Amino acid sequence: MKRLTLIAATAALFVAGAAATAQAQQAFYPQPYIGGDAMFWEVNPDNASSRDSVGLRLNGGMQFNDYFAVESHLGSGGSDGPVELDYLVGAYAKGILPVAPEFRLFGLAGFTEVDVDIGRESGFSYGAGAEFDITPNVAVGADYMRYLDESDATFDAASVGMRYRF
């Protein structure tokens, strides 16, 4: 009888521990997040040589479930000769593919306005990236965005940075 009680108590502790672990790993949605990145940008006008530099980008969003979020970007900084990035601002839908509990791939599609010294343009934007959780609330990530693809110029950026989920 003592042996059966010991086995039942051990099983109950195991089940309670497993349930607590599963509860601790479960994300609560919607989940807001913010982040900051180094943004390596390039503008390529059709009638001139391409220019590139490094700026900063802030991003923030709301993740609604494991597969979908909305996100916004605000970037500025960096210059290459006569071309300086005054700002970029955009809003995007974010599709997420969870590869592992701590690793995700994602795609972004939306609308961006970019203001550089050679002009201001806005249009459809798209990109892709990946994130890896280093703690339950902090992730590192990288992405590549085609912010503008207009008839007279393109504006692309590769970014690397961190995200904090609340």
How far does the chain reach from its first CA to its final CA, in angstroms?
49
Over range 15-28, report the average pLDDT.
51
CB-CB neighbours of 61 under 10 Å: 22
Question: Two tokens at 124?
Answer: 């459809």
User: CA-CA distances (angstroms) from residue 139 to 71, 73, 142?
Assistant: 15, 17, 10
pLDDT tens across 92-143, in order?
999 999 999 999 999 999 999 999 887 889 999 999 999 999 999 999 999 9
Question: Two tokens at 9?
Answer: 């108590």
Q: Give 136's DSSP letter.
A: S
The full set of domain ranges for the chain reads: 28-165
pLDDT of residue 26: 67
- Indicate the fold that domain 28-165 takes in CATH: Porin (2.40.160)
pLDDT tens across 22-78, in order?
444 567 889 999 999 999 999 988 777 888 999 999 999 999 999 999 999 999 998
SS3 115: strand
pTM above 0.85, yes or no: no
Better-scored residue on pLDDT, 86 or 23: 86
* Alpha carbons 133 and 83: distance in angstroms, whole number: 36
pLDDT of residue 13: 45
Which of 139-144's residues contact partners 24+ apart within 8 Å by CB, and which partners? 139/163, 139/165, 141/35, 143/106, 143/108
Amino acid 78 reads G
* Alpha carbons 15 and 48: distance in angstroms, whole number: 66
